Amino acid sequence: MAECATPHFRRVETYNGRVDYIETLKRWSQRFRRFDLPKYLLYGLMVPKLLIDGTLRLYLDALRVDPNRVCFERLLMDHYRIIFEKV
| Model confidence, pTM | 0.68
Q: Give the 3-state secondary structure of residue 35.
A: coil
Number of helices (H) and strands (E), helices first, in the chain?
Answer: 6, 2
Q: How many residues are given for the chain?
A: 87
Per-residue pLDDT band for 66 (boundaries 50, 70, 90) equals confident
Helix (H) or strand (E) holding 66: none
Neighbours of 72 (CB within 10 A): 20
Range of the domain at 24: 2-86
How does pLDDT run across 31-54, given as a tens digit for each residue?
Answer: 988 999 998 898 889 888 888 888
How does pLDDT run across 10-36, given as a tens digit for each residue?
Answer: 999 999 999 999 999 999 989 988 999
User: pLDDT at position 65, please?
Assistant: 83
- What's the structural domain count of the chain? 1
